[in-house]
Structures are given as C-alpha cells and as structure tokens.
C-alpha cells in the first residue's frame, strides 16, 4: 500500500451508494449523527470486529482484515474472509496452503437486497484480488438479525458500479463538493436528515457558516 497516497475508505462507498450527498457530508464536512438503527448496527458489528484468525482443518476465517487497492485508491476492513483449501487458489500470509477466498460483510437487520452493501462487498473483493493475484466470483452479506447469508455474485456490472462510485467520490473530495440532495423516502430514514437539510440544498453546518460569514461581512462594511 502506498503510504503517500490519500486512499478513500471503502465504507464511504457504502454511504455513496445510499446517497452521494450523505457521503460528501461525512467525508468533506466531517458530519455524523447516530440513530437507533446505526447504534444497534455498530454494537452488533463490535461483536465481530476483533482482529483474529480462526483455523479449522482446511478452512480459515480472517476477521477484521485490512484490504486495499492501489489501482482504485481505496482501503478498508473486511468483517470476515473465509478461506477454503484449493489448489487453484492463492497464498495468503495467515496459512501455509493455497485458498479460495470468500469475503463476508456483516449487516444489521433482515435479509434484503441493498445495492450499496453489494458495492462495498465487491470493493473488498476487488482489493483482495489485487493483493493476492486471485479471482473472486462471489461473496455474501450476513444479516445478523436473521442469521442468514445473502449471496452476491461479483459481476462485471457490479464491478463497474464500484469504479463509478470511486470516481464520483474522488471528484467530490478533490473539488470539496457537497451535491444537492436527491430528496425521497430514504431521507426520512437518514440519521443525518436534520444536519443535511435536504430540501434547502445546503447542510445545516454549511448553512450556518454562510450566515456567519455574511454577518461578518456586513459588520465590516
């Protein structure tokens, strides 16, 4: 990993998949507010987020595993990576036999198809492919409330969405842009709704800063 490069966090891709404006507020304006759902999800994640390696026979599980891609300029952590012995697989530092990798991302709630989660999972897989010169065709989302897996095929279409999301986030970060809100039903569920102020086109923080700047300029006249 290139230490001199400013990598995007894979978690920001998830936010962008849900809402580009939300991702910009978190990434550029450092705005965050927790809701009951995000708090519960964080607590459930904390039970998994202990970096460790578990090995049983020809299988290994890597938890809280750091991944990165120099090509995409992203980095993050995988909740869990399952490695199964396979002669056609890759070699990773944690085991002394080749394995086939299968990334798993843990999510709060019931099983459902969520594109932003699939983008996150695919980004993790693309990092692993680059790091270990392998091919990963499938991963899974594990929903903690129902204790079930939702398999995700890592198609070319999904990989293109990862690349497109990365490009959009890089532009938002470099230009320090906060996109206008695409107001809809998802806004009602967003923990940043009061800070985002989706109907006025500015975040609450930026709105207050603009008012303060205008007041200061008026006083100087």
Q: What's the distance, CA 165 to chain centroid?
A: 11
Comparing C-alpha atoms, which of 75, 52, 74 is closest to residue 63?
52
pLDDT of residue 80: 95
What was the pLDDT predicted at 114?
Answer: 87
pLDDT tens per residue, the chain (221 residues)? 666 578 999 999 999 988 898 898 888 887 765 544 544 555 555 555 678 899 999 999 999 999 999 999 999 999 999 999 999 999 998 899 999 999 999 988 777 778 999 999 999 999 999 999 999 999 999 998 888 899 999 999 999 999 999 999 999 999 988 888 777 777 877 878 777 777 665 555 565 666 567 666 666 65
Q: What is the pLDDT of residue 36?
A: 44
What is the per-residue pLDDT for 90? 96
The whole-number pLDDT of residue 35 equals: 47
Nearest to 75 by CA among 21, 28, 128: 128
Other Cβ atoms closer than 10 A to 91: 13
Task: Evaluate whether 179 touches 165 at the Cβ level (below 8 Å).
Answer: no
pTM value is 0.80
Q: Which residues are CB-contacts of 165 (< 8 A; sequence separation ≥ 6)?
A: 13, 16, 17, 119
Q: Can you give the pLDDT at residue 58?
A: 92
Sign of CA dihedral 203, 29, 64, 130: positive
133: left (phi > 0), else alpha (psi -120 to 50), else beta?
A: left
- Residues with Cβ within 8 Å of 86's Cβ and at least 6 positions away in sequence, in order, are 98, 99, 100
């Amino acid at each position: 990993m290139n230490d001199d490069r400013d990598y995007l966090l894979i978690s920001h891709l998830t936010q962008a998949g849900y809402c580009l404006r939300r991702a910009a507020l978190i990434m550029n304006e450092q705005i965050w507010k927790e809701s009951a759902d995000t708090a519960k999800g964080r607590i459930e994640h904390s039970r998994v987020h202990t970096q460790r390696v578990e090995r049983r026979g020809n299988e290994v599980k890597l938890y809280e595993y750091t991944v990165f891609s120099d090509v995409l300029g992203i980095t993050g952590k995988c909740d869990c990576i399952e490695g199964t012995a396979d002669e056609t697989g890759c070699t990773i530092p944690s085991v002394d036999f080749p394995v086939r990798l299968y990334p798993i991302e843990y999510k709060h709630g019931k099983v459902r198809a969520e594109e932003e989660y699939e983008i996150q999972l695919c980004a993790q897989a693309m990092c692993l492919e680059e790091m270990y010169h392998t091919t990963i065709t499938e991963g899974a989302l594990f929903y903690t409330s129902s204790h079930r897996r939702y398999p995700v095929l890592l198609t070319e279409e999904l990989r293109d969405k990862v690349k497109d999301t990365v490009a959009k986030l890089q532009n938002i970060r470099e230009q320090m842009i906060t996109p206008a809100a695409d107001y809809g039903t998802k806004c009602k569920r967003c923990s940043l709704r009061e800070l985002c102020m989706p109907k006025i086109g500015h975040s609450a923080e930026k709105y207050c800063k603009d008012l303060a700047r205008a007041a200061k300029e008026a006083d100087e006249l």
